[in-house]
Structure 1
Amino acid sequence: MATEEFLLPRSRLANERLHAMIPGGAHTYAKGDDQYPENLAPVISHGHGAHVWDIDGNRYVEYGSGLRSVSLGHAHPRVNEAVRRELDRGGNFVRPSIVEVEAAERFLATVETAEMVKFAKNGSDATTAAVRLARAATGRPRVAICADHPFFSVDDWFIGTTPMSAGVPAATNELTVAFPYGDLAATEELLTRYRDEVACLILEPATHTEPPPGYLEGLRELADRYGCVLVFDEMITGFRWSEAGAQGLYGVVPDLSTFGKALGNGFAVSALAGRRDLMELGGLRHSGDRVFLLSTTHGAETHSLAAAMAVQTIYAEEGVTARLHALGERLAAGVRGAAASTGVGDHIVVRGRASNLVFATLDENGQPSQRYRTLFLRRLLAGGVLAPSFVVSSALSDADIEHTVDVVAQACAEYRKALDAADPTPWLAGRPVKPVFRRLA
């Protein structure tokens, strides 16, 4: 068991206040205190670079910043300065701002495979707009989602497929079907079974596994042959795989794609981009039925668009994507080395592209375990590492990586003791952490 007790009394009280007023105690389920060991969910005071401070006064090296959105580090000076310039000029007008023109030009120069773009505030609006556009363009009702990817939207067409489907009509659920990642034969079987019914295939082009050789090209061919729209959800892969996303790295062009997260370095901005003939269905310069594509009051808020332009400039000028990969490779090597040296290399497993690392915590039988995850997170928090994942930001220093690996090594030593006991319970000090998607609260 841990030899020192790590307590967060102020955070604990703040979490109670959060639950009293906010359903779930957070505005994003993945940020909920159920995702952390009991009474050890820090409430953040502020952040700078790769570090955050909680209201109890503890400083952490932070990973997965802003659910992968803050890839340059908190309060990045060049992003803040770009935003600051717009704040004194007004943020939202009754007509488009010239900033909207500049932001669209900058985005389309970065993601050269797209011909038009429309900005919004969150990823769900963008993915749902892509689905609606695909249905309008094809006249088909069904949406085919990749079953192996965890999240696409808060809207009914996706949430109805999860364990948290309460409130979604069964008739809506019936219109969403699923295909497995990496399996072209199964996808073709699905398209054959629902011939002329599937409006689109939507997937993340890559996650913790790289696409098998020829897979994305094969999906492109299937979409063309069966007359459906190919949609890449690039919320995570955008900028972390390349400045132009996975489509820019792998050279496969989707019909539509959605971006967000890293696009604004924490500022609220997302984008739907794609072929002109499809996107223009949501515009005014055609004679067909109008598609209510995206129309949001705050979608073109100028300071968020300024942040997005600054982010794209920084990525291009400073080689940020390459730095993310280099930092991730160093972190992964360190964590794997620490795990192997303490005899838990088969139980704490680092996965994913170097710029987007996650970890699995496996029990004595090699099965995923929320109890062992709890043990691991407790030790990391006590050592000043806030890491629901190992997703890096470019603000991390060599010293941050070294400190993280040192703390991981301490956590691995405790992990080994729990494995030897075949019971991590004495190390938990409370209920285990819980998965985000579950049927019961």
Structure 2
Amino acid sequence: MDNEEFSLPRSRAANERLHALVPGGAHTYAKGDDQYPENLAPVISHGRGAHVWDVDGNRYIEYGSGLRSVSLGHAHPRVLEAVRHELDRGSNFVRPSFIEVEAAERFLATVPTAEMVKFAKNGSDVTTAAVRLARAVTGRPRVAICGDQPFFSVDDWFIGTTPMSAGIPAATNELTVAFPYGDLAATEELLTRYRDEVACLILEPAGHTEPPLGYLAGLRELADRHGCVLIFDEMITGFRWSEAGAQGLYGVVPDLSTFGKALGNGFAVSALAGRRELMERGGLRHSGERVFLLSTTHGGETHSLAAAMAVQTTYVEEGVTARLHALGERLAAGVREAAAGMGVGGHVVVRGRASNLVFATLDENRQPSQEYRTLFLRQLLAGGVLAPSFVVSSALDDADIDRTVDVVAQACAVYRKALDAGDPTPWLAGRPVKPVFRRLA
């Protein structure tokens, strides 16, 4: 594709139709066309493996598939076989189906640090259920979130803390407090300041950096000493860090944890898991006040649970987590070498665990830049690489990685020209991409 002539007329028309019908033009803000260069937001026709095709007929090597959910690649045969087996048998009944027993047993065998599990559809369903359960068990009102991490839920207790807080009462916002990742002293100070008020600490156990030595164990000790519930949000770390999540890898057991994304390989399924003593408070076999934990019409949808079981089997039997790490290591090394070779090694920066890579685009002063991100994304798209991040799927092969690195090298050559000119504007061809969380549209 010639970058100068690269255009997406059908995608552009489809985006216009979407905006006329769907607020934001997408059902997830992170998929919005404001996240892409102007008029270069592909609308997808279909995908197979690590590749997707847009409605204009272009094929891309895809990263960050389904916001990290499609970690085995699109239309994965083992997952589709499991789903097809259920489709003719009905999807939802007036009572639990037997697959709900099997899916729970499979999940708890895969994540043995948990004792009970309840399935839902979205990550927000289960993180909010975890928070409610923590408040019910402790009788405390406040939620302590890790303030350095970008997203926990669409619900009021979290969204009120973001720049997109319209519609959330101030009284709700006041009940959520924040602690910094990796800083046990600051967290202890917070728990002391709000003594006997904090119901839970909720965080992603790992992010773009590894947990400092002893940090997660220290949080576990703090939560125990201050009588609050420790919740690990494993939406991203689940499966990508290990089949048993970050808790399985680092050996620190939370009271509650939440899974989603990779669990269904694109099918809608999430999970709240944790200690029996807490989880049973949302059940029928206790003498205390009942907790309305999770009640979802589609939580037991048979084909999504079948997909989840197939995903877990595939991860364990095929060593998928190790493959994700190997692919990510090859990609990170290639991108770093390409960036350095073009003289932008300090400006196009790859970060994160190999199975969950992101990239930063820095300006002349080594500051994060949406303008340079726009330039970089334009070049990648024109080269047939769709990469809001460098998060790999196991469907990629070495040829895909090598092709990606070649395209990155070409993009870095243009990046160098813009740095030398001191202004990326001539290479943007429109407004820069925008951050997801911002107060004004």
Relative to the length of structure 1, the TM-score reads: 0.99
The residue correspondences of 1:368-407 to structure 2 (distance < 5 A) are 368-407=368-407
Q: Is the 8 A contact 2:52 2:62 kept in 1?
A: yes
Name the CA shift for 1:409/1:274 in 2 (closer, same or farther; >3 Å). Answer: same
Deviation at 1:145, TM superposition (A): 0.1
Name the SS for the 2:210 alignment partner: coil
**Distance (whole Å) between structure 2 residues aligned to residue 192 and residue 249 of structure 1:** 30
Q: Distance in 1 between matches of 2:143 and 2:83?
A: 37
Cα pair 1:2 1:427 within 8 Å, conserved? no
SS in 1 for 2:14: helix
- What percentage of aligned pairs have identical amino acids? 90
Per-residue CA distance 1:127-185 (angstroms, 9 max, x = gap): 00000000000000000000011000000000000000000000000000000000000
User: Is the 8 Å Cα contact of residues 48 and 74 (structure 1) preserved in structure 2?
Assistant: yes
Rounded Cα–Cα distance in structure 2 between residues aligned with 1:3 and 1:191:
54
| 1:285-310: CA deviation from partner (whole Å, max 9, x where unpaired) | 01110000000000110000000000
> What residue in structure 2 maps to residue 213 of structure 1?
213
Q: What are the within-5 Å matches in structure 2 for residues 3-152 of structure 1?
A: 4-152=4-152
Distance 1:174 1:322, change over 3 A: same
Counterpart-to-counterpart distance in 1, 2:413 and 2:349: 15
For residue 303 of structure 1, give the secondary structure of its aligned residue in structure 2: helix
Write the distance in 1 (CA, Å) between the matches of 2:3 and 2:31: 28
Is the 8 Å Cα contact of residues 347 and 361 (structure 1) preserved in structure 2? yes
Q: 1:2 to 1:49 in 2, by over 3 A?
A: closer
Distance in 2, matches of 1:429 and 1:156, equals 37
1:183 paired to 2:183:
yes
The CA distance in 2 between the partners of 1:4 and 1:232, in whole Å, is 46
Q: Does the 8 A contact of 1:362 with 1:372 survive in 2? A: yes
- 8 Å contact 1:64–1:389 — kept in the other structure? yes
- CA spacing shift, 1:224–1:58, aligned 2, 3 Å: same
How far 1:388 sits from its partner (Å)?
0.1
Supply the distance in 2 between the matched residues of 1:3 and 1:145 (Cα, whole angstroms).
43
Tell me what 1:316 maps to.
316
Decide whether the 8 Å contact of 2:15 with 2:43 is kept in 1.
yes
Runs ≥4 in structure 1, deviation > 3 angstroms? none
**Structure 2 Cα separation of the partners of residues 298 and 105 of structure 1:** 19
Q: How far apart are the structure 2 equivalents of 1:338 and 1:273? A: 42
SS in 1 for 2:45: strand
Cα contact 1:135–1:200 (8 A) shared by 2: yes
Write out per-residue CA displacement over residues 3-60 of structure 1, whole angstroms, 9 at most, x where no aligned residue: 6221000000000000000000000000000000000000000000000000000000
CA shift digits 1:393-418 (9 cap, x unpaired)? 00001110010000000000000000
* Native 8 Å contact 2:348 2:362 kept in 1: yes
Describe the shift of the 1:2–1:342 C-alpha distance in structure 2 as closer, same or farther (beyond 3 A): farther
Distance 2:4 2:389 in 1: 24
Q: Deviations over 1:242-297 (max 9, x none)?
A: 00000000000000000000000000000000000000000000111000000000
Deviation string 1:83-107 (CA, Å, 9 cap, x unpaired) is 0000000000000000000000000
Q: In the aligned structure 1, how far is the partner of 2:403 from the partner of 2:376?
A: 16
Cα distance between partner residues in 1 of 2:337 and 2:402: 12
Distance 2:227 2:318 in 1: 41
Asked if the contact 1:58–1:384 (Cα under 8 Å) also holds between the matched residues in 2, the reply is yes
Are 2:331 and 1:331 equivalent residues in the alignment? yes
Aligned counterparts, 1:216-235, within 5 A: 216-235=216-235
Distance 2:365 2:71 in 1: 35
Residue by residue, what CA displacement relative to the aligned partner does 1:204-229 show, whole Å, maximum 9, x if unpaired? 00010100000000000000000000
Q: Secondary structure at the match of 1:280?
A: helix
Show the counterpart of 1:262: 262
Moved more, 3-12 or 113-122: 3-12
Q: Contact 1:61–1:385 at 8 Å: present in 2 too?
A: yes
CA distance in 1, matches of 2:286, 2:338: 60
CA contact (8 A) 2:2 2:382 kept: no
SS class of match (2:257): strand
**Cα distance in structure 1, aligned partners of 2:326 and 2:208:** 17
Cα distance between partner residues in 2 of 1:326 and 1:376 = 25
Q: CA-atom RMSD, angstroms?
A: 0.9
TM-score (norm 2): 0.99
Q: Distance in 2 between matches of 1:192 and 1:262?
A: 37
How far apart, CA to CA, are the structure 2 residues paired with 1:354 and 1:334? Answer: 12
1:108-130 deviation per Cα after TM superposition (whole angstroms, max 9, x unaligned) = 00000000000000000000000
Bigger CA drift: 2-11 or 222-231?
Answer: 2-11
Deviations 1:305-340 (A, max 9, x none): 000000000000000000000000000000000000
Distance of 1:77 and 1:275 partners within structure 2: 34
Residues 242 and 248 in structure 1, CA contact (< 8 A), matched pair in contact too: yes
SS class of match (1:154): coil
Residues 3 and 379 of structure 2 are in contact (CA less than 8 Å); yes or no, is this contact kept in structure 1? no
**What is the rounded CA distance, in whole Å, between the counterparts of 1:403 and 1:20 in structure 2?**
37
The CA deviation at 1:350 is 0.1
Deviation at 1:2, TM superposition (A): 8.1
Q: Secondary structure at the match of 2:108?
A: helix
Cα distance 1:47–1:67, how it changes in 2: closer, same or farther (>3 A)? same
| Native 8 Å contact 2:3 2:383 kept in 1 | no
2:260–2:269 CA contact under 8 A, matched in 1: yes
Task: Confirm or deny: 8 A CA contact 1:220 1:254 kept in the other structure.
Answer: yes
1:358: Cα distance to partner? 0.1
Structure 2 gap ranges (5+):
none
Aligned to 1:186, the other structure's residue is in SS state helix
Q: Which SS does the other structure have where 1:399 is aligned?
A: helix
Q: Distance between the aligned counterparts of 1:22 and 1:3, measured in 2?
A: 30
CA distance in 1, matches of 2:237, 2:421: 40
Q: Distance in 2 between matches of 1:310 and 1:152?
A: 26
Contact preservation (8 Å) 2:203, 2:233 = yes
2: distance between equivalents of 1:207 and 1:31? Answer: 21
Structure 1 stretches lacking a partner, 5+ long: none
Q: Contact conserved, 2:239 with 2:245, CA < 8 A, in 1?
A: yes
